[in-house]
Amino acid sequence: MGGGEGGEAEVAFNKTRAEGKDGRKGRSMELKSRKLNPVNTICYVQVLGTGMDTQDTSPSILLFFDKQRFIFNAGEGLQRFCTEHKIKLSKIDHVFLTRVCSETAGGLPGLVLTLAGMGEEGMSVNIWGPSDLDFLASAMRSFIPNRAMLHTHSFGVEQNVPSQSKDATVIIDDEVVRISAMFVKPRCSNEASCLTDTNVKPGDTAIIYACELPELKGKFDPAKAAALGLKPGPKYRELQLGNSVRSDAFDKMVHPSDVLGPSIPGPIVLLVDCPTEYHMHELFSLQSLGCFYEDSSRQTGTSKKVNCVIHLGPSSITKALDYQNWMRRFGSAQHIMAGHEIKNMEIPILKGSARISSRLHFVCPHLFPSSGFWPVELANDVDSEKNKTSLLQACETVSAANLLKFHLRPYAQLGLDRASIPSLSSYGDIVDELLKEIPDIEEVPEQISKFWQNRESNSGKLQDGTPLRESDWRKHPKDNPDIPCCVENATREDMEITFLGTGSSQPSKYRNVTSIYINLFARGGILLDCGEGTLGQLKRRFGVSGADEVVKSLKCIWISHIHADHHTGLARILALRSNLLKGIAHKPLLVIGPRPLERFLNAYSTLEDLDMQFLDCRHTLKPSIEAFLSDNVTESTTSQLENTIFAPGSRMEYYSRKPASPKDTTALANLKEILHESGLEVLYSVPVLHCPQSFGVVLRAKEKVSSAGKAILGWKVVYSGDTRPCPALIDASRDATVLIHEATFEDSMKDEAIARNHSTTKEAIAVGTSAGAYRIILTHFSQRYPKIPVFDEVDMQKTCIAFDLMSVNLADLPVLPKVLPHLKLLFKDEMVVDESDEVQEAVMY
């Protein structure tokens, strides 16, 4: 463990981890080896409804066999979904991608890291995709520490592989299943506006997968065998295996067809991803699909009967007249429409999380405005949903529901199975359940509401949060002289902090991984960290269209360090923003982060347009930023660091990793403009103790002027990122309005906190207390504490615990600590981990 010199002697930390040298060496992370079971008693495909309610990511499809599991697509939220519905990730053998982009593969990095953390040697999984997969693998290796974690297999080696090949690419062909792939590239029939190869990104290629099970041999007829002179014995078995034998009584050969009933063709499932109208023409003319059309038998005699077609494209595509006509070519196949549909938005996919949100909303809607159930909003394709044509009725079509199954084996059960679909519940149902479970809770909402009523009557504000005139303040004496002026005079449109994820390491049933949205209202917003599922959480908090507006109005995204639980939602946000603003004049979004993050983003941008500008955190240290804002940009990197724990000659100099390139003055100029537009005086990064290039951040708003002309200092928000308590962060947090500090471990686990360079609850509070912060909000809790962490109420006078989707308005800070004791009543029996839930730390988080 790290020691210290001089004034830093009290800082205990793991020096090896801070240097980035603590990877688990020698872990093999071998692929699972399973003995196949050709005579499968159970086989089905199942819709895993990730993104169904929030429309932020592609649903996944599970192909289940007795001894093998295949998943198609691994969008953001897949891990959390599997935890919720008790689908064991350790049983997954193969992951297939229908496209290589953030919508279909956003959950892949977290999945790989979580599997690598399982068991003594770690686990891995085969990942399959077109040659574009190589770009994703290259990008992921910028933050995945061990190459053994990534077992990627790309097919269609040439990027310009002709999609009109008559033969599909066979990927897996064993005694259990044959899986083949067909390529669909975007084209358009209108030559004037046709897409060209030069503006088609690799991630635009879509894959159609065909999953074919072997045929079932006909039933053996002993009577026919006896009539042909066969005695019971080994020859019966040979015939059942498809081999001819000589009759025992007659001089003739007996063939399997003589004694077996007709064989039953193996069931076939197609997975079709047609993401845009530009893919439709190519899909409809795909020659390798010809053998699956019902009418192809008249031409070739080789038609294969398709039992089920799962459509992953959005309803705006799949309900188009041409698409529906194409669907009819599969005859009586069952069509499952698994793409985004408006009606699915009503039903939360993560019911455990929705239940917690509903309970918190009932108790304190001021801090928890999202009820867990949100009103359905109309989207662009709603009209096409209403105007279903008679052509659609000609197909066996159902809308997918979460966990809907289509059975393939045993043959007697072939068809749809709705038994696993979760039962519907409403906000009212959850509140009724809560009142029965904890009758005392009924009075709590009114008790909490009185805090706000008292605050409004004593704060010099009107009911809507507007400050009273200074002449009226004498009529409303302040009840607490310690309230900062920026809070006392705040309106509800100044600033609000929304916690999109408050867990650490990996997504869990109740807490997503780290992300914080600083809402500046009319002046836009800023994201601090962007873990997997950030977009989905924005959708749950602000609604589907509201979240799109949030993304479009983002001013910048700041990332604390390279660990995956803090940034793997970034590509999805950037890709969506680029798409939403297409055709609208705008600037690239500024992303501030550690240098390794730039390598990931640059590599990933080969797949999708991210439309971003990168700025190294080391260029945003306080001396550098203040010098730039004052137009003095002549300081050297060394002088920027000399007043920090990374000063030349200090024990931490080894991992300052001085910038390899000169300061990006263009990006800094953009930051200066962003600060002005956002009403901020400064944003700067603070080096902290966690891993190489780890940072906290300080945001300070500009001064305001009262109606009497008196200057009022702007608010100051400090976010720690992941860190041990450290002097640099304490100094940066002096007189902060809000300090958001990680509190990964409870107080009894200090040794673990030191080993992993995290903080305990008491340590985090001590940082804020030492710095004189007005309010401390704790976050980044270990998944050992699934609903509420362990804490000592004695330490919580000015401290609050963050929950997912909690929104803390600047004007509400005075009442914040008063709410926590009431929230504890919700979780009185849940202060420790549920032993039935596995707690698994992902590698390198």
Read off the DSSP letter of residue 763: H
Q: What is the pLDDT of residues 278-313, one digit of tens each?
A: 999 999 999 999 999 987 655 555 679 999 999 999
Residue 172 neighbours by CB distance under 10 Å = 18
Give me the residues paired with residue 493 across strands. Answer: none
* Side chain identity at residue 200, one-letter code: V
pTM: 0.89
Residue in 419, 418, 400, 276 with CA at minimum distance from that of residue 344? 400
Q: What is the pLDDT of residues 118-165, one digit of tens each?
A: 877 788 899 999 988 999 999 999 888 776 678 899 998 554 445 556
DSSP 235-258: HHHHHHTT--EE-SSSSSEE-HHH
Average pLDDT on 758-783 reads: 95
And the tokens for 367?
Answer: 């801090």
Q: Would you give the distance in Å from CA 423 to the centre of its chain?
A: 24
Give the span between the Cα atoms of 665 and 670, in whole angstroms.
8
- Whether residue 462 contacts residue 475, with contact meaning beta carbons closer than 8 Å, is answered with no
- Whether residue 110 contacts residue 568, with contact meaning beta carbons closer than 8 Å, is answered with yes
Residues 6+ apart with CB under 8 A from 11: 2, 4, 689, 724, 725, 726, 727
Give the span between the Cα atoms of 115 and 713, in whole angstroms.
48
Residue 639 predicted with pLDDT over 50 = no
- Residue listed under structure tokens 């804002």: 629
Counting beta carbons within 10 angstroms of the beta carbon of residue 11, is it exposed (0 to 12), middle (13 to 18) or buried (19 or more)? middle
| 3-state secondary structure labels for all residues of 781-792 | ECCCCCCCCCCC
And the tokens for 104?
Answer: 């279909």
* Helices vs. strands in the chain: H and E counts, helices first: 29, 32
Residue 409 neighbours by CB distance under 10 Å = 20
- Whether residue 537 contacts residue 575, with contact meaning beta carbons closer than 8 Å, is answered with no
And the tokens for 640?
Answer: 């920027």
Give the span between the Cα atoms of 800 and 809, in whole angstroms.
13
Pairing mode of beta strands 396-399, 253-254:
unpaired
Torsion of CA 668, 670, 675, 678, to 10 degrees: -160
Q: Given pLDDT bands bounded at 50, 70 and 90, which one contains residue 795?
A: low
Give the span between the Cα atoms of 742 and 821, in whole angstroms.
20
Angstrom CA distances, 313 to 58, 208, 323, 405, 614, stand at 9, 11, 11, 19, 32
And the tokens for 364?
Answer: 């304190």
Q: Given pLDDT bands bounded at 50, 70 and 90, which one contains residue 637?
A: very low
Give the span between the Cα atoms of 731 and 644, in whole angstroms.
10
Average pLDDT over the chain, rounded to an integer: 84
Q: What is the pLDDT of residues 719-757, one digit of tens each?
A: 999 999 999 999 999 999 999 999 999 999 999 999 999
Q: What is the pLDDT of residues 45-95, one digit of tens each?
A: 999 998 888 888 999 999 999 889 999 999 999 999 999 999 988 889 999
Mean pLDDT check: name the lowest of 617-626, 815-824, 836-845.
836-845
